[in-house]
Amino acid sequence: MISDVRHLLQAGPFEPFAIITSSGHRYVVPSADHASINPGGNRVVIWFDDGAGITLSALHITAVEKLGTAKN
């Protein structure tokens, strides 16, 4: 799953996506600046607009879902 996250973060143009964990939580990544993979490749950090963040272990990432872009 980390390779999927890496691919989505590096894709151009960026498309928002969600990371789903084994606990069922769903974390939206609205831009490439909102997430990063640690150098060891075993954790993903997601930052939220309010300044908070969460670190997810690769072992608990069960799915990655593209959200697409809103079209007005």
pTM, two decimal places: 0.85
**pLDDT digit string, tens, across residues 25-61:** 999 999 999 999 999 989 999 999 999 999 999 999 9
H-run or E-run covering 6: helix 2-10
pLDDT tens string 6-30:
999 999 899 999 999 999 999 999 9
CA distance 15 to 54: 20
**The sheet that has 26-29: what strands, in order across it?**
26-29, 17-21, 61-66
